Amino acid sequence: MQQGIHRLLALVAVFTVAFGAVYVIRNGTAGISRLWDHRDGSGSYHQPEKATMSDRAPLELGEVELLARLDAEQTKLMKAVVPSVVSIDTAGVRSERLIDGWGQTRGIRRVPTQGQGSGVIVSEEGHILTNQHVISGQPQIRIRTYDGKEYGASIVGQDPQLDVAVLKLDAPAGEKFRPLKFGDSSQVLLGQKVFAIGNPFGFGESVTGGMISAVERSISDTQRDLFQTDAAINPGNSGGPLVNVQGEIIGINSAIYSPDRANPGFQGVGFSIPSNDVRDALLAILERGRPIRGYLGLRMVDTPSGVQVLALSPGGPAETAGIKAGDLVENYDGDKIHSIEQLITSVQRTRIGRKVSLIVNREGQQMKLEATITESQPEPEAPVADQSRTREPEEVLEAVGVRVRDFSETERRLGSSGVVVTGVSSTGLAANRLQAGDCIISVNHNDVRNRYEFYRNLAASAGVQPTTISYVREGKAARADLPAVPRKEE
């Protein structure tokens, strides 16, 4: 019995020695120490690592003194400016017309809308500047200030053409706010350091820095002479200020360039409305509730020879001054005219009641005229035709016999506006009057911006009365007078 126990113990000893030898051969002496290490919660073994951290910056502040001062100054600037910037949240319901292929309304649906934007406080009483497109059609407006307070707001006035709106905070009487000062945008220089502040994507007040990339940029017929900046501007920044290194407002951020229209984002090209234009609109709205602009009373077209007059407003300043259809406008108030945009901008900025000199070319002869600028008024709505005499639009458009297309995005960026004739029926009323390639700009002196407007205006007019179509062919302005579509014998 004892001999059997001795043999078992001998076998255990031999097995233990053999196992230990194999373990040491495979894991080394470090393997032995791991047998005594503590396990963590996951059941694995860990031995603490030694790590010596640095306690010194690579450079002393004295070695980067200029950068340190710049960093401190930018921080100081933002601390002074950001409290005057607000976030704007809007909500409402938009009515959408359901339009058929002829531009006729076949129903209306109501769609809930929500929006976000930015604004800047410009008076101690709580007046806020923002973009008109931020609050357009949105009856519910909520303002959130930098310190987290929320207010309702009312609309004091709007300037859709400049894309500016003035709001007033619904605050307790006597509450004071911290406004920003306007800078002089006429002194802004290419390459100047600027900062854009706003509420991108609803994240709250954010700051981006950059420079003035270009001045006098135009992105549409109404948005002209804008500042271009590479400071990051994203959806939600609209209405926020572009400030200089003194914290003065030199522009109101309004648009970005993005090749993806469905999901616009920063591409390094943003646009801001110059502060001088914004300030003029603000003062006019505070004083009269609406913007005040100069008016000359011309309908024009760009041609290779210059800006040509197509038509004049009856009794307007231009007609009173002696300007006639067909004249080329060469000079306005001492400045040579190169484009319609330049002329319109100059007229709108002219003080109401001021007399200006114009030089026009009429059939090769230069003439110097003088006009008194009046206040621009909203265009009167075209009279509605007698519905008892109208016919189906398809019938009218078939009788006229003209087909058109919209301008491409590239063509519009080059300054084209209106629609392009793609074909004319040889049996229609437009035969021998219009031809493929003509650029139609108006129907009965009402501008057309797309083919739906053209077909709608043409169908409403030609079925009951003679119709005038203004167009440009090979750079020359012309007009086609169409008779009313004859009524069929019943």
Gyration radius of the chain's alpha carbons: 36
Tell me the pLDDT tens digit for each residue of 307-354: 888 778 888 898 899 998 888 998 998 888 887 777 887 888 788 889
Range list of β-strands (E), 373-426: 374-375, 402-406, 419-424
Catalytic residue list contains 238 = yes
From 1, 142, 147, select the one nearest 85 (Cα to Cα): 147
**pLDDT band for position 102 (50/70/90)?**
low
> Which of 84, 89, 127, 133 does the annotation list as catalytic?
133
> Which of 89, 159, 163, 327 does the annotation list as catalytic?
163
> Which of 84, 185, 206, 238 does the annotation list as catalytic?
238
Predicted local confidence at residue 381, as pLDDT: 37
Altogether, the residues listed in the chain come to a count of 490
Non-local (6+) Cβ contacts of 374 within 8 A are 294, 295, 297, 316, 317, 352, 353
Lowest mean pLDDT among 57-61, 68-72, 96-100, 303-307: 96-100
CB 156 within 8 A of CB 286: yes
Non-local (6+) Cβ contacts of 362 within 8 A are 324, 326, 327, 328
Amino acid at site 300: M
Predicted local confidence at residue 217, as pLDDT: 61
- 85-99/140-144 β-pairing: antiparallel
Burial of 446 (0-12, 13-18, 19+ CB in 10 A): middle
From 254, 277, 94, select the one nearest 184 (Cα to Cα): 277
Most confident of 19-23, 180-184, 440-444, 472-476: 180-184
Tell me the pLDDT tens digit for each residue of 65-79: 888 888 888 888 888
Tell whether pTM > 0.75: no
From 226, 229, 167, select the one nearest 192 (Cα to Cα): 229
From 247, 165, 235, 249, select the one nearest 203 (Cα to Cα): 235
For the stretch 143-149, contacts whose Cβ atoms lie closer than 8 Å and that sit 24 or more positions apart, written own/partner, are 143/86, 143/87, 143/88, 143/119, 143/167, 143/169, 144/86, 144/87, 144/88, 144/89, 144/204, 145/83, 145/86, 146/82, 146/83, 146/84, 146/85, 146/86, 146/205, 147/83
Non-local (6+) Cβ contacts of 210 within 8 A are 193, 194, 195, 196, 229, 230, 231, 232
207: how many CB neighbours lie within 10 A of its CB? 18
CB 341 within 8 A of CB 335: no
Angle at 118 between CA 115 and CA 121, to 5 degrees: 140
CA distance 332 to 346: 8
3-state secondary structure (DSSP) of residue 128: strand
- Is the CA virtual torsion 394, 399, 405, 407 positive or negative? negative
Predicted local confidence at residue 31, as pLDDT: 57
**pLDDT band for position 378 (50/70/90)?**
low
SS (H, E, C) 137-150: CCCEEEEECCCCCE
Tell me the pLDDT tens digit for each residue of 379-398: 443 333 333 344 567 778 88
CA distance 252 to 273: 5
In the predicted structure, residue 490 carries a pLDDT above the cut 80: no
In the predicted structure, residue 264 carries a pLDDT above the cut 60: no
Lowest mean pLDDT among 146-155, 174-183, 388-397, 401-410: 388-397
Bridge partners of residue 251, in order along the sequence: 242, 274
> How are the residues of the chain apportioned to helix, strand and coil, as percentages rounded to the nearest 5?
25, 35, 40
Lowest mean pLDDT among 113-127, 220-234, 295-309: 220-234
Lowest mean pLDDT among 32-36, 354-358, 383-387: 383-387
Q: How far is CA 369 from the centre of its chain?
A: 37
Non-local (6+) Cβ contacts of 61 within 8 A are 68
Angle between helices 393-400 and 451-462 (to 10 degrees): 90
Q: Which two tokens stand for residue 150?
A: 């929320």
CB 289 within 8 A of CB 459: no
SS (H, E, C) 415-441: CCCCEEEEEECCCCCCCCCCCCCCEEE
* Number of H-type helices and E-type strands within the chain: 9, 26
In the predicted structure, residue 17 carries a pLDDT above the cut 90: no
Tell me the pLDDT tens digit for each residue of 176-203: 999 999 999 889 888 899 988 887 665 6
CB 130 within 8 A of CB 239: yes
Lowest mean pLDDT among 13-17, 75-79, 290-294, 343-347: 13-17
